Amino acid sequence: MIPVLELSNALLQELVAYVDKRWPLEACGVLAGKDARAEKMIGVLNQAQSKVRFVMDPYEQLHAFDWIESNGLDLVGIFHSHPAGPETASATDIAEAAYPVVQVILSRAGPHWQTRGFWIEDGTASEVTLQITQ
């Protein structure tokens, strides 16, 4: 796992705006970057159109992966929202985590969105510190 994922405040605000626009449905997408730094978010349609789960649309996901590769970046994270909380990875998130990357969860149990990172491996979610830079 990686202990820290760095991202700019501008990227964080872009993520919040993206998931907020899709509230109350779960939103999802991928984070592209290098090493332990996310540089770009690409939203992917939530095929499930659900308030409690997400399934990334396979075509849009493939398109996002192609974009990442053709821009010389790597997949460094997967993000999704929990429109009504909780802040942490759910049992479903742990069971369905398919990529060895940071899982960024934006949750809104209260009035504001919270953003936390997790590394899910062998059925356990460990917190990854999100370091926000200017």
Dihedrals phi, psi of 72, to nearest 5 degrees: 70, 25
- Residues pairing with 31 in the sheet: 41, 77
Kindly tell me which of 71 and 99 has the beta carbon lying closer to Zn ion.
Answer: 99
Annotated catalytic residue, options 6, 14, 26, 87: 26
For Zn ion, which residue of 44, 93, 106, 115 counts as binding (CB under 5 A)? 93
Task: Name every residue whose Cβ is closer than 8 Å to that of residue 52 and which is 6 or more positions away in sequence.
Answer: 26
CA distance 122 to 19: 28
Residue 117: C-alpha distances to residues 1, 20, 57, 60, 130 (Å) = 11, 18, 22, 23, 6
Closest residue to Zn ion, Cβ-based? 93
The reply on whether position 88 binds Zn ion by CB under 5 A is: no
Residue 81 binds Zn ion (CB under 5 A): no
- Interface with Zn ion (CB under 5 A), residue total 2
> Is 90 an interacting residue with respect to Zn ion (CB under 5 A)?
yes
Place of tokens 């996310």: 38
Q: Does the active-site annotation cover 39?
A: no
- The stretch near Zn ion (CB under 5 A) out of 13-21, 41-49, 61-69, 82-90 is 82-90
Kindly tell me which of 8 and 90 has the beta carbon lying closer to Zn ion: 90
Given a contact cutoff of 8 angstroms between Cβ atoms, the answer to whether 24 and 83 are in contact is yes
**Rounded to the nearest whole angstrom, what is the least distance from the CB of residue 53 to Zn ion in the complex?**
7
Q: Which residues are catalytic?
A: 26
Binding site for Zn ion (CB under 5 A): 90, 93
